[in-house]
Amino acid sequence: MAGSARSSFEDRLRSEVTGDVWFDAFNRGRYATDASVYQQMPAAVVVPKTVDEAERAIALARQEGVPVTARGGGTSQCGQTINTGLIVDCSRHLNRILELDVAGGRALVEPGIVLDELNRQLKPHGVWFPVDVSTASRCTIGGMTGNNSCGGRSLRYGTMRDNVFSVDAVLASGDKAHFGPVSADLSDVSNDSPLKPLARRLFAIGDREADEIEARFPKVQRRVGGYNLDALVPRATNDLNLAHILVGSEGTLGFSTQVEIKLWPLLGKKAIGACHFGSFYEAMDASQHLVKLGPIAVELVDSTLLKLAREIPMFRPTLDQFVQGDPDAILLVEFAEEPDENVRRMAMLHDLMGELGFGWDKSGAKWGGVVDIHEPGLQAAIADVRTSGLNIMMSMKDQGKPISFVEDCAVPLEHLADYTARLTQVFEKHGTRGTWYAHASVGCLHVRPVLNLRQDLDVRKMRAIAEEAFAMVREYKGSHSGEHGDGIVRSEFHEQMFGTRLVRAFEEVKDIFDPKGTYNPGKIVRAPKFDDKNLFRYGPHYQPIEVDAKLDWSAFTGKGRGLQGAVEMCNNNGACRKLAGGTMCPSYRVTREEKDVTRGRANTLRLAISGQLGPDALTSDEMMETLKLCVSCKGCRRECPTGVDMARMKIEVLAARAKKYGHSLRDRLVGWLPRYAPYAAKVPWLLNLRDKLPGAAKLAEGVTGFSAARTLPKWRGDVFSDDVPAFGPKEGSPVVLFVDTFNRYFERETVDAAIEVLVAGGYRVHIAVPNDGDDRPLCCGRTFLSVGRVDEAKREAERALDALSPYIDAEVPMLGLEPSCLFSFRDEVPAMIGDPRAARLAKSAMMIEEFIAKEAAAGRLDLPLAPVGGKALLHGHCHQKSFAAMGAVEKTLRLVPGLEVSVVESSCCGMAGAFGYGTDTIQVSKAMGELSLLPAVRAAEQDTIIVADGTSCRHQIHDGASREAMHVMRVLAASVAKAQTGTSSPLREAAE
């Protein structure tokens, strides 16, 4: 758009829409990609608060001649949700259930409601919406409707087309219409409805092309390519439903304002048979027989996916529980009948595998058998692995990635084995390979050959593979577009698959609905070439600039010591947009803004380091705004299947900005805390005046940036001292305790408790002390990292390494109390320091609970313990979750006799070090706490012990719920004290 036209359009949009309206490069850039390989910079983005606002925005775009693309979760794999016009984001506000008729099995919803959120609201009513796609945690019903999504259980429940009753939509003309069941003569449609003349023309096309549709449309369930012209053929079905022409239309025919969907009873207990095969071909051939047992799903996981999943800490424990030996493929056969019937069918599954010639005692292609899985928790964990198949594949760190373009073909089951074998040969012919997974039950397997689309040779390979693959699909009378839609990837190939005549009919349908091409142009009809490099995310325009990276990113490729490759690991699939479960991404759960989610931040970083956001974008205010609400929880480090570690990336941005602009007073107060803490502890009364003198906190707020709405940690004079270098019996097994700044100066009781517990267990506890002649206590460097001073953090870490060297050499476990401090030694310290000692320390550093749980499991823990309470409510620190340490924390707490431990299902507490004190972040901090943690604490009985290892977490609980939380070690110390002395529990006194 020209400057004046753009200014006019922007002014008009802002006057009509109270939701966000964005024309700046940073926000537009966050909507320029989806989960495909493509990138198109939109002219503008609007986030309407109501459907009326969306309609007004569309009307203005129509008047200005600006194309419109509706967007939900932005998880499309074919480029459906990107374009160069106006993007309308429906996911943030247009997400309500408008009507719910449980008895009638129907619901009316807005297009932006997320599938998992919908099902969470439906569950108490005993119903669900069963089109359970792998992106259920972030995809929206509007997007699923536009895509004709399918899901893993389509064998029983069908596709979106089978589960949508009606759609209300705004046409390109601005007229509104209700698309639903109609009679063939349209007698039930009023004469003044804009739908009537449109439907007549559509039915005329259906009648005219009926024979061609019958001849050319694939006879497989998984056919989502083109427009659903078969829905327009009156004599083909008595079920005439005009909504079906909108289902699968990818937003090219209208803007959906509400969708009426079909509800089903909730599934009962399930039984899963993990069928192991020694040969991938044999697994594919067996699929046609397995479906005859009536499962609701048969899902494939191949050996490559299993191998990649084992390399991801989040998934490895799950695989260890059900994978036997080294299978070439596993088919997960799922039954969901009555319990007795599940048992019967599982027995039939075992018998069938035997009849097909498979056995655990055999070798080669016929090795295999069935592993029964009945435990719901393991079933859910396996489902997580299965539905994360795409992201697991994308975890490859090379520039060559599994590319989506032939991943969606569907063929009749009797041809599945031959098709997969032949396509594998095609990959090999072109020097690549593919990983297979997904829906064996319906002949729709996802496979992505590994290609580097930055290289012309691989782009040519992509076309050659596509043409050979689609020719095979035609030969088998299958569908080239079986689930993920057309978008830019497959629309070009419609003429090959459907023939010229039907493609002209597709274009006629588009022109009837949208003669000026307003809605999502270039999708389904009149599409660009799918290998047009100018449309690629990493096309000719992509030129990364050199970045002075401070951390080691050598596991990745590209500039900035590999930082470029680390940023590019984000494939935009959007797992970080989930709204429940796990930690990632707490800021997004509060704001629901794309800039506040890992994907949005990674996209912004990628655009910045490739010069697409202008000069100095990396250190700009806009970049800081993008990262401001990132609490460095490290949730993405563990939960992002492609391993995007935004906490580390934020350090790089902070370092670059600090180098250019220096530091604020607030940064200095936070970063240099370990340096000035020894002096502050000498005059605690002076520093504590801020929270004692009326008005002092408000006065200091403008100077320090710390909100007057919170009290600061209370300084004290009786800090923990290193005067005594060791505790416990000299002959005891040695450990070294690293006392962090926070517990040393603010909560020394935690340190004392840890020493008491370890000594009671017979350990010789050495205190980590400096050996450089400076008596200032050791520090991990965490506070300096939080303000971008990697140089100072490195200095602190090296000082700690020097002091700990004797223990490292002697392989003495190094224990910590504060998660953010201890895990720095496992994460950032090795990335800052090339010293081999850092890598060795990373292996020996552990939270004190990890050590105790390990000793208990090995039978070496001899700790006197007595009951101290009936219940404990445990909140896990984000870094404990990121490093899979929560299991050890629970096990340690459960050592206390009679203590019933429950864990809060929470994301970040919201405090996150200094984040919760900032004047510009305190409200988001409180909102994070209110997501689940603070309500759970308030609901706990008064005699329930509240437990949290994180100093910040304990402060958030104190401020937000008026309850005192304590470190696990203080609970154990109280239990030890009672066991040793027989006195009553000191927990109440400790809490007070």
Same domain? 377 vs 352: yes
What is the CATH number for 235? 3.30.465.10
Least confident interval from 244-258, 393-407, 754-768: 393-407
What whole-number distance in Å separates Cα of residue 842 and Cα of residue 829?
8
950-to-24, 875, 965 alpha-carbon distances in Å: 38, 9, 10
Instruction: Give dist(CA 402, CA 391) in Å, integer.
Output: 10
pLDDT at residue 81 greater than cutoff 70 = yes
Residue 124 one-letter amino acid: P
User: DSSP readout, 865-907?
Assistant: -----SEEEEE--HHHHHTT-HHHHHHHHTTSTT-EEEE---S
**530 located within any domain:** no
Specify the length of the chain in residues.
Answer: 992
pLDDT of residue 237: 54
**The 3-state secondary structure of 940-972, one letter per residue:** CCCCCEEEECCHHHHHHHHHHHCCCEECHHHHH
The answer on pLDDT for 742 being more than 80 is yes
- Give the CATH number for residue 374: 3.40.462.10
Q: Please indicate, yes or no, whether residues 772 and 736 belong to a single structural domain of this protein.
A: yes
Cβ neighbour number for residue 812 with a 10 Å cutoff: 17
Q: What is the rounded CA–CA span in Å between residue 572 and residue 579?
A: 16
**pLDDT tens figures, 502-541:** 999 999 999 999 999 999 999 999 999 999 999 999 999 9
Instruction: Report whether pLDDT(990) > 50.
Output: no
Q: What is the CATH number of the domain that holds 735?
A: 3.40.50
Containing 808, the helix (H) or strand (E) segment is: helix 790-809
DSSP 3-state helix, strand, coil percentages of the chain (rounded to 5)? 45, 15, 40
Segment 371-397 shows an average pLDDT of 84
Is residue 497 in some structural domain? no
Q: Nearest to residue 819, comparing CAs of 654, 969, 986?
A: 969
∠ Cα 747 750 753 (to 5°): 145
DSSP string, 562-589: THHHHHHT--S--GGG-SSSSSS-HHHH
Give pLDDT, residue 4.
67
Backbone phi and psi for residue 484, each to the nearest 5 degrees, phi listed first: -90, 0
Confidence of residue 257 (pLDDT cuts 50, 70, 90): very high
Whether residue 684 lies inside any domain: the answer is no
Name residue 727's beta-bridge partners. Answer: 765
Look at residue 969 and tell me whether its pLDDT is greater than 90. yes
Contacts of 633 (CB under 8 A, 6+ apart): 583, 584, 586, 647, 878, 879, 882, 907, 908, 912
Q: How confident is the model at residue 814 (pLDDT cuts 50, 70, 90)?
A: very high
Q: Are strands 68-71 and 86-89 parallel, antiparallel or unpaired?
A: parallel
Q: Which of 191-200, 306-315, 423-432, 694-703 has the lowest mean pLDDT?
A: 306-315
Which residues in 337-350 are b (16+ Cβ under 10 Å) and which e? beeeebeebbebbb
pLDDT for the residue numbered 1: 64
End-to-end CA distance of the chain: 64
Looking at the structure, do residues 346 and 199 belong to the same domain, yes or no? no
What stretch of H or E contains 68? Answer: strand 68-71
pLDDT of residue 238: 64
Contact of 860 with 936, CB cutoff 8 Å: no
Q: Which of 856, 879, 909 is the last residue of a domain?
A: 856
Residue 566 contacts residue 67 (beta carbons within 8 Å): no
Confidence of residue 161 (pLDDT cuts 50, 70, 90): very high
How many CA atoms does the CB half-sphere of 70 hold within 13 Å? Answer: 33
767: its two tokens:
């205190």
d(CA 787, CA 785): 5
Spatial neighbors of 935 by CB under 8 A, at least 6 apart, are none
How much is the pLDDT for 236?
A: 52
CA dihedral 245→250→256→259, nearest 10 degrees, is 70
Phi-psi category of 364—alpha, beta or left, where left has phi over 0 and alpha has psi -120 to 50?
left
User: CA 883 → CA 636, 637, 827, distances in Å?
Assistant: 11, 9, 10
The H-or-E segment that residue 846 falls in is strand 845-847
Q: Do 260 and 234 lie in a common domain?
A: yes
Q: Does the pLDDT at position 751 exceed 80?
A: yes
Q: Is the pLDDT reported for residue 988 higher than 70?
A: no
Phi/psi at 804 (5° precision): -90, -5
DSSP string, 779-805: --SHHHHTTT-HHHHHHHHHHHHHHHH
Assess whether 826 and 885 both reside in one domain: no
Q: Distance between CA atoms of 392 and 387, rounded to whole angstroms?
A: 9
Q: Which domain CATH number covers 19?
A: 3.30.43.10
Buried b (16+ CB within 10 A) or exposed e, 693-714: eeeebeebbeebbbbbebbbbe
Single residue among 856, 880, 896 that ends a domain in this structure: 856
CB atoms within 10 A of CB 679: 10
CA atoms within 13 A on the CB side of 186: 19
Q: At what angle do helices 790-809 and 836-844 cross, to 10 degrees?
A: 70
- Asked if residue 219 and residue 135 are part of one domain, the reply reads yes
Dump pLDDT digits (tens) for 190-237: 999 999 999 999 999 999 999 999 999 998 888 999 999 999 997 655
Percent of the chain with pLDDT over 90: 90
Residue 314 lies in a domain: yes
Residue 764 has pLDDT above 70, yes or no: yes
Task: State the chain's mean pLDDT as an integer.
Answer: 95
DSSP character for 713?
Answer: P
Does 306 lie in the same domain as 245?
no
Q: Can you tell me the mean pLDDT for 20-46?
A: 98
Task: Please report whether residue 385 resides in a domain.
Answer: yes
* Cα 477 to Cα 491: distance, rounded to the nearest angstrom: 18
Number of H helices, E strands in the chain: 45, 27
pLDDT at 395: 72
User: Angle at which helices 195-208 and 500-513 pack, to 10 degrees?
Assistant: 170
Q: What is the pLDDT of residue 992?
A: 38
* Average pLDDT of the residues in 130-147: 96
**Is beta strand 264-265 parallel, antiparallel or unpaired with respect to 176-179?**
unpaired
| 85 and 106 together in one domain | no
- Mark whether 209 and 144 lie in a shared domain: yes
Q: Which residues does 615 contact at the CB level (< 8 Å), separation at least 6? A: none
Do 422 and 331 have their domain in common? yes
Q: In whole angstroms, how far apart are CA 813 and each of 99, 340, 361, 852, 884?
A: 59, 51, 44, 11, 18
Structure tokens at 191: 């004469």
The DSSP output letter for 177 is: E
Cβ contact 144:160 at 8 Å: yes
Q: Which helix (H) or strand (E) holds 318?
A: helix 316-322
491, 523, 550 - which closes a domain? 491
Number of domains in the chain: 6
Q: Which residues contact 58 (CB under 8 A, 6 or more apart)?
A: 68, 86, 88, 170, 174, 255
Residue at 122 is within a domain: yes
Is residue 149 assigned to a domain? Answer: yes
Provide the pLDDT for residue 375: 96
pLDDT per position as a tens digit, 724-740: 999 999 999 999 999 99
**What's the average model confidence in pLDDT over 708-732?**
96
Is residue 802 packed enough to be buried (19+ CB in 10 Å), middle (13-18) or exposed (0-12)? middle
Eight-state DSSP code of residue 528: P
Name the residue type at position 842.
Answer: A
Contact 44, 28 (CB under 8 A): yes
Q: Position 43: which residue type? A: A
Tokens read off for 97: 């259930």
pLDDT, one tens digit per residue, over 581-631 is 999 999 999 999 999 999 999 999 999 999 999 999 999 999 999 999 999
Does 834 or 601 have the greater pLDDT score? Answer: 601
Which residues fall within 8 angstroms of residue 714, CB to CB, at 6 or more apart?
Answer: 684, 688, 691, 746
pLDDT of residue 390: 67
Q: Looking at the structure, do residues 461 and 320 belong to the same domain, yes or no?
A: yes
- For 256, the enclosing helix (H) or strand (E) is strand 255-262
Q: Pairing between strand 845-847 and 814-816?
A: parallel
In the block, residue with structure tokens 């949290």: 948
The whole-number average pLDDT for the span 109-133 is: 97
SS3 158: coil
Residues 900 and 811 in one domain: no
558 assigned to some structural domain? no
Q: Are 432 and 451 in contact (CB under 8 A)?
A: yes
Residue 35 DSSP symbol: S
- Domain of residue 900 covers 864-991
